[in-house]
Chains A and B, each alone.
Chain A
Amino acid sequence: MEKNKGCEIWAIGGGKGGTGKSFITSSIGAHLAAKGKRVVLIDADWGGANLHSFFGVNRPQNSLSDFFEKKVPLKSLIMNCGISGLGLIMGNLPSLDSGDIKYAQKIKFFNHVKMLDADYILIDLGAGSHNNTMDTFLLADKMIVVIIPEITSIENMYHFIKNVFFRKLKVVLNSHGLKDSVNDAWKNRGIHGIKTLKELIAYLAGISPHIKDIIDKEMSDFRMHIILNQIRSSRDITVGTSIKSVCLKFLGMHTQYAGYIEYDNCVTSCINKKQQYMLTYPFSHVAKSIGRLSDNLIYVKEVTAATDEYSPGRL
């Protein structure tokens, strides 16, 4: 098997459930497929997979658990979901023993994912900051978080970003033979006067110039892409730019504000009718926004803070 060099892996996550991760994954997938790209969607919501519902297809027999448990090749798990160029791999069926997957297994999984014959591979992650979720997130080429303009969602997102970066620091410092330095610092945070992630980073960077170099590099490479879903007024658009600013000023993290999506009741009714939204309402504001933000993700562009670009369409 050869590694497919052209393929890009996007992971879609975010701390809170119900913000529209699966809807956005399915819609971006449908949009990219319509543009002639070969896309594979992977439902990696390890506990509650339901990405198939967005395409109106029934729950398939095979799922990722066959890959992990029976060593079925990933390629044979791809199912057709009614759109040409778009394949779907189902997540684990909700079972009581969908517990931890070992790190080595995740690496193996990713190596197989990279060998899939596709231009884009979109991985839909579950809510929460479970280790499985964060590791999958970190292994992707692009990390995408979906939020809505509600304080709970925003709070969970900050939490998620911090946890993901904390996890990343641990993995990276482990690989440099600095095992446990992060854990020790965090365990003894009372002694070192560390209260926040920013202070932890400053403390670790102060241990040695070597660690500082590693951390500086990781921080400048670490980039989350933010999608703001369910905005109800044009003023909500600025929530994205504000979050970008807060992440930088409070957490020291750079983020990309990839785009926003308007609130639309039709989305809910489409899901309930098992219709694919992008096929049913291709000319809606939501569909256009999805197209715009997909392009922003491909070319690593973002919604700018300039006021005149706030108004592509009236809400």
Chain B
Amino acid sequence: MNIPPEDYNKYFEILELGYNAPLSEVRSSYLRLRALYSSDSIVTSAIIYEFPDDSKQAILDQIDEAYAKLREFFKDKEADHGYKERPSVAGSDIEEYLANVTAFSGPALKMIRERLVVELKDIANFTKIRRQYFEDIELERFEALPTEVYLRGYVVEYARYLSLDPARVAGDYMARYRTWKTTRGNRS
């Protein structure tokens, strides 16, 4: 496939990136913009009243399209030139995967995060929560994790960063935590 890269420039523009941005930046910009235009932040509500009701949806559609196109672009790039930025990322359809997730366990979260090309370091920097906690959350090393109230907060932050539904993720994850806690209580 020989698509001139210029065709993709407008998609990079929609995601507010330079034309040479790597897939990881495409991903994080997509997440950031999606979060911005799918919520009611002070930044958008200060201007939205002058625009038609569906203008936010129109922007979201554009962002989604740009992201889908760019994922194809990176997939082709990978196929054509043996180019590989990060393992097992491009081409994997995250929405499809998410639909099949029955419960957000630690390993499931890890899988989602890796598919989104997000590093634990990024989440830790952003949330100001120690990286180690997130690692323990993914590996379900419950004994190493702090008490329930704190843990729940960390899981919520983690989910939020990945643009997942925090309530659902925390609900699933904390249920697993409590199961572990009861079995441990029974054993001791």
The interface of chain A, by Cβ under 8 A from chain B, is 149-151, 154-155, 158, 195-196, 234, 238-239, 241-246, 248-251, 305-308, 310-311, 314
Contact = CB atoms under 8 A, between A and B. Distances in A.
Contact of A196 (B33, B46, B51): B51
A307 B46 contact: no
Given A234-B128, A314-B128, A158 B29 contact: no
A308 B42 contact: no
Interface of B: 16, 25, 28-29, 32-33, 36, 41-47, 50-51, 55, 59, 121-122, 125-126, 128
B126 A307 contact: yes
Nearest to A156: B46
Nearest to A242: B43
Given A305-B32, A306-B28, A246 B125 contact: no
Contacts of A248: 16
Contact of B125 (A154, A195, A245, A311): A311
A155 B128 contact: no
Given A242-B41, A307-B28, A250 B126 contact: no
A284 to B, nearest CB: 20
B153 to A, nearest CB: 14
B32 A249 contact: no
B151 to A, nearest CB: 21
The CB with the most chain B CB atoms within 10 A, among A244, A248, A250, is that of A250
Given A151-B45, A154-B42, A250-B51, A245 B122 contact: no
Given A308-B121, A308-B125, A310-B126, A241 B32 contact: yes
Contacts of A241: 32
A249 B59 contact: yes
A151 B42 contact: yes
Nearest to B123: A307
Contacts of A249: 59
Given A242-B36, A243-B43, A310-B125, 13 more contacts: A154-B42, A155-B47, A239-B42, A245-B36, A246-B44, A250-B47, A250-B55, A251-B47, A305-B28, A306-B25, A307-B28, A308-B121, A311-B126
